């Protein structure tokens, strides 16, 4: 194994490890060989790092590292001793570096990682789905009606009967079949808490761990999803990994942007994974359906676990193969940021070489990528070109690395990842059909890391370097501006520039895909060495609204929405429908039709013709619901709702929020008119100076006045 391989995959080449669990002073290592899982034990000494010798606890075992920074390794005889000492040191405000999880500490120091030598399908994955009589496990009517179970070995079953028997049967089944990974959709938010509550009600231990230990829960934390994060409460099963595909699909869709909602049925439909003749039952009606047609509910549940299995097979391989590199368990890899993964690789290798870990530099604002919009409205014959891995390419071609990386492992690791990704990407296209999912998952895992090396430089990690990060972005700005200039010199009309890519209207005479590829290739030859320009898409038209907000129309008529102005998951259904129908009209050049649609929908709002589902919104109840001043109205109607559950709300005329279940045709129609106007304003760029004439702004009280007018006319007609 060369140095770069060691940096990426760790120094220990043990194959087939599916789980590592660490206790007080020993680690249990579970290894899968086909259908057989064996376990071994190794000694474990917890550790932390300090930068000053005077901060080393008295009597502690200490090793000094070379270099500056955190250069003293303090070792402990047990995890309890480590946690007590760390707590005491923190109370004294001693600066230290330590991982809070024993498994991560063990993997960092031993070089072991999980899943080496295994493909995604080699591990034993089980899917579980609960069907319940009530959505709240605390209600008197609550109980588990049945549990559907499947796996990636072809096994399926329905567990049914009295609730205590169902729970015991699930525990027995997990112990018997011994899965490495347990998957479920909204698993952390619903199934596992519900199962735990019902098991506790009956006094049944949820002994799902490989060692017979119970299911446990941690404290709420955030799962990074692109530039945002999603709160969740992690659960733990000893020796196994829990994957919630609800979180996983949000991370997966950050780049794809294909999903409006993340429910299992919606995900399966969009990604072409839906079961044939899919049974659909509203979640809050499962109990009633079960009374009338239990077999239909069983089919529904089996469809759920099958779609969960298919969805996981699509969205999870990249995180799985990242786990082969990262010193952490699969469950954590699937819910933590990529920057921390790179940091762990760096820390692992520096400690292996006996070198100190630097302290992070102070984070500061760094110049970002260059963005500019030059045209709005509807544009025909659109091409997109972008630089393949712009920032990593600049870092490699210009040797931009953290100044703290004195052992020079950052850029060689990036170069190794880039080479491996190119190789895996080729094999994902040309390997035998059965091997392609493996290579595609592998190249995706490499891509995730590669694209995070730049972000790492500007973030608060041990080897960060904000100055280096700024050199990358300023170099990138010059490159993308040069690309735009070269396009215009050849007769193209630039529409939008965004960091590493350019949308442009094709020049006269460039009409075929081959013409476009040739043009992009010619421009690419005029860029600096190491910068690879690629043809990244062609579209019949583009509806450009503002920077990073547009609709692409493919040549087969498919529409791709980008940006919150054209599609936001927070938008009410009537607003999303208005935007979607308006886009169709704009594509057809019917500006007057959009104005007509606006006025017709305004009239429907005033007359109360919209169903409550058209203007309600769904909110998750969190601890902030009851502590934030901004959430006072939500808190007023969320009393008695469990943290983590969702409520569906609408705006009432009296200024309060209402639950959809309590709807009484009392919506605030002036509020809805204002919302509709704001939706129309998102399209302002398509109408220019005519916008205010085509889309008159509503005045407060307009809806009430129209209601009174209508009521008067109705009274007169009876006279």
Q: Cβ(553)–Cβ(541) under 8 Å?
A: yes
* Residue 480: its H or E element: helix 466-489
| Cα-based distances in Å from 371 to 187, 346, 478, 496 | 39, 32, 12, 7
Please determine, for residue 9, whether its predicted confidence score (pLDDT) is greater than 50.
yes
What is the overall mean pLDDT for the chain?
A: 92
- Cα–Cα distance measured from residue 360 to residue 75, given in angstroms and rounded to the nearest whole number: 23
Spell out the residues 6+ positions from residue 206 whose beta carbon is closer than 8 angstroms to its own.
Answer: 167, 171, 195, 196, 199, 214, 215
Query: Residue 31: what pLDDT?
Result: 98
Beta bridge partners of 144: 132
Reported pTM: 0.85
How do residues 159-179 score in pLDDT, each as one tens digit?
999 999 999 999 999 999 999
Dihedral over alpha carbons 677, 682, 687, 692 (to 10 degrees) = 30
- Cα–Cα distance measured from residue 226 to residue 240, given in angstroms and rounded to the nearest whole number: 26
Sketch out the chain's domains with CATH numbers: 3-118+335-352 (3.30.342.10), 125-315 (3.30.420.10), 371-562 (3.90.1600.10), 573-718 (1.10.132.60)
Angle between helices 466-489 and 390-397 (to 10 degrees): 110
| Cα-based distances in Å from 615 to 461, 571, 576, 657 | 44, 9, 10, 12
- Cα–Cα distance measured from residue 328 to residue 350, given in angstroms and rounded to the nearest whole number: 17
The token pair at 416 is 């190794």
Spell out the residues 6+ positions from residue 144 whose beta carbon is closer than 8 angstroms to its own.
Answer: 130, 131, 132, 133, 163, 166, 167, 194, 195, 198
The token pair at 29 is 């290592």
- Cα–Cα distance measured from residue 73 to residue 97, given in angstroms and rounded to the nearest whole number: 10
Query: Residue 622: what pLDDT?
Result: 73
Please determine, for residue 425, whether its predicted confidence score (pLDDT) is greater than 80.
yes
How do residues 233-269 score in pLDDT, each as one tens digit?
999 999 999 999 999 999 998 877 778 778 999 999 9
The token pair at 347 is 């820390």
Please determine, for residue 639, whether its predicted confidence score (pLDDT) is greater than 80.
no
Q: Nearest-CA neighbor of 198 among 140, 148, 143, 139? A: 143
- 377 vs 402: which has the higher pLDDT: 402
Considering only 85-89, 97-101, 570-574, which range has the smallest mean pLDDT?
A: 570-574
Buried b (16+ CB within 10 A) or exposed e, 674-688: bbbeebbebbebbbe
Beta bridge partners of 264: none
Query: Residue 714: what pLDDT?
Result: 42
| Cα-based distances in Å from 293 to 142, 278, 281 | 18, 16, 11
N-term to C-term CA, the chain: 95
- 715 vs 157: which has the higher pLDDT: 157
Q: Cβ(59)–Cβ(149) under 8 Å?
A: no
- Cα–Cα distance measured from residue 483 to residue 489, given in angstroms and rounded to the nearest whole number: 10
Please determine, for residue 708, whether its predicted confidence score (pLDDT) is greater than 60.
no
429 confidence band (pLDDT: 50, 70, 90): confident
Q: Cβ(88)–Cβ(105) under 8 Å?
A: no
Q: Nearest-CA neighbor of 311 among 365, 247, 371, 368? A: 247
């Amino acid at each position: 194994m060369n140095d770069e391989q060691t940096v990426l995959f760790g120094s220990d080449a043990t194959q087939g490890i599916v789980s590592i669990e660490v206790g007080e002073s020993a680690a249990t290592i579970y290894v899968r060989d086909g259908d057989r899982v064996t376990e071994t034990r190794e000694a474990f000494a917890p550790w932390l790092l300090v930068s000053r010798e005077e901060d080393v606890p008295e009597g502690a075992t200490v090793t000094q590292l070379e270099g500056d920074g955190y250069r003293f390794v303090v070792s402990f005889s047990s995890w309890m001793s480590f946690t007590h000492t760390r707590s005491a040191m923190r109370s004294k405000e001693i600066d230290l570096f330590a991982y809070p999880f024993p498994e991560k500490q063990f993997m960092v120091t031993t070089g072991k990682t999980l899943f080496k030598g295994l493909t995604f399908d080699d591990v034993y994955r089980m899917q579980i789905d609960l069907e319940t009589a009530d959505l709240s496990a605390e209600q008197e009517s609550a109980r588990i009606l049945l549990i559907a179970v499947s796996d990636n070995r072809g096994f399926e079953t329905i567990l049914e009967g009295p609730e205590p028997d169902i729970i015991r049967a699930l525990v027995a089944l997990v112990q018997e079949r011994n899965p490495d990974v347990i998957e479920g959709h909204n698993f952390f938010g619903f199934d596992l808490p519900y199962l735990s509550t019902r098991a506790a009600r009956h006094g049944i231990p949820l002994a799902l761990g490989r060692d017979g230990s119970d299911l446990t829960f941690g404290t709420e934390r955030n799962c990074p999803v692109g530039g945002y994060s999603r709160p969740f409460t992690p659960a733990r099963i000893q020796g196994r990994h829990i994957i919630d595909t609800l979180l996983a699909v949000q991370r997966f869709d950050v780049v794809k942007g294909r999903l409006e909602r993340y429910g299992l049925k919606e995900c399966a439909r969009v990604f072409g994974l839906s079961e044939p003749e899919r049974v659909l039952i509203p979640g809050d009606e499962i109990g009633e359906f079960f009374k009338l047609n239990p077999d239909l509910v069983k089919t529904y549940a089996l469809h759920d676990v099958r779609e969960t299995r298919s969805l996981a097979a699509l969205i999870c391989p990249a995180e799985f193969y990242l786990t082969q590199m990262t010193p952490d368990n699969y469950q954590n890899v699937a819910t933590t940021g990529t920057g921390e993964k790179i940091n762990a690789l760096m820390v692992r290798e520096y400690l292996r070489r006996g070198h100190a870990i630097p302290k992070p530099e102070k984070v500061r604002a760094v110049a970002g990528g260059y963005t500019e919009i030059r045209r709005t409205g509807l544009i025909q014959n659109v091409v997109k070109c972008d630089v393949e891995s712009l920032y990593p390419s600049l870092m490699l071609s210009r040797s931009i690395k953290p100044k703290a990386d004195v052992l020079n492992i950052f850029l060689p690791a990036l170069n190794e990842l880039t080479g491996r990704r190119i190789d895996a990407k080729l094999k994902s296209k040309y390997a035998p059909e059965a091997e392609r999912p493996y290579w595609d998952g592998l190249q995706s895992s490499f891509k995730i890391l590669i694209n995070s090396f730049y972000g790492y430089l500007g973030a608060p990690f041990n080897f960060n370097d904000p100055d280096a990060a700024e050199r990358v972005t300023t170099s990138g700005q010059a490159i993308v501006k040069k690309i735009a200039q070269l396009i215009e010199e050849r007769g193209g009309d630039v529409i939008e520039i965004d960091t590493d890519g350019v949308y442009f209207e094709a020049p006269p005479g460039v009409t075929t895909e081959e013409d476009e590829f040739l043009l992009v290739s010619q421009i690419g030859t005029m860029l600096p060495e190491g910068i690879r320009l690629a043809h990244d898409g062609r579209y019949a038209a583009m509806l450009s609204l503002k920077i990073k907000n547009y609709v692409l129309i493919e040549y087969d008529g498919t529409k791709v929405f980008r940006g919150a102005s054209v599609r936001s998951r927070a938008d009410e259904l009537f607003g999303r429908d208005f935007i979607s129908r308006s886009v169709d009209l704009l594509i057809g050049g019917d500006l007057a039709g959009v104005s007509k649609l606006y006025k017709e929908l305004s009239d429907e709002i005033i007359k109360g013709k919209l169903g409550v589902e058209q203007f309600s919104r769904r909110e998750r109840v969190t601890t902030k619901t009851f502590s934030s001043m901004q959430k006072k109205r939500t808190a007023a109607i969320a009393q008695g709702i469990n943290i983590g559950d969702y409520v569906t709300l609408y705006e009432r005329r009296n200024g309060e929020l209402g639950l959809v279940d309590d709807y009484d045709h009392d919506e605030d129609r002036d509020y809805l008119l204002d919302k509709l106007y704001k939706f129309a304003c998102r399209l302002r760029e398509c109408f220019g100076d005519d916008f205010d004439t085509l889309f008159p702004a509503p005045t407060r009280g307009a809806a009430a006045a129209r209601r009174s007018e209508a009521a008067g006319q109705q009274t007169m007609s009876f006279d």
